[in-house]
Structure 1
Amino acid sequence: MTQKTGALIFDETADRYDIRFDIADYYGGLHCGECMDVFTGGKWKPTRIEYGDNWYLVGIRAEDLNGLRVRI
């Protein structure tokens, strides 16, 4: 299976994060527990998205998830 690379964006209408691959190409909304890789510190790290007091990526320290480079 080929992975696609994009950027995390927050979809305010759905109140959840999505991945934007291109101008009009989106993943379709992320749900708790969905796994992906995030590019941080110069390398790809496996993670999953979860929701507590706010959305976060397990094992990734980030103030804001918007714009993070991910692949799924």
Structure 2
Amino acid sequence: MRQGTLIFDEYRDRYDIRFDLAEYYGVLDCGDCLEVFTRGKWKPARMEYGDNWYLAGIRTKDLNGLRVRV
């Protein structure tokens, strides 16, 4: 699994994962599964879209900067 940071790509209006300065995962779509590091452990989550993008299984208002792995 690769670890990175969740960022919002304003050009594509979707989230992406940044692994380092020049390497990205590619945009995330609805149903894409990943793990989020929260409260000291990795939790499974799924990217979804309703009124806005959110992670099913994770309670947060801001997804930017979350440590994730795929």
TM-score interval w.r.t. the shorter chain? over 0.9
Residue 54 of structure 1 aligns with which residue? Answer: 52
Gaps of 5+ in 2: none
| Residue 8 of structure 2, aligned match among 10, 19, 26 | 10
| Residue 32 of structure 2, aligned match among 14, 30, 34 | 34
Gaps of 5+ in 1: none
TM-score, structure 1 as length reference: 0.96
Counting aligned pairs with the same residue, the percent is 71
CA distance in 1, matches of 2:47, 2:16: 11
Deviations 1:16-64 (CA, angstroms, capped at 9, x unpaired)? 0000000000001000000000000110000110000000000101110
| Residue 69 of structure 1, aligned match among 57, 61, 67 | 67
Aligned residues: 70
TM-score, structure 2 as length reference: 0.98
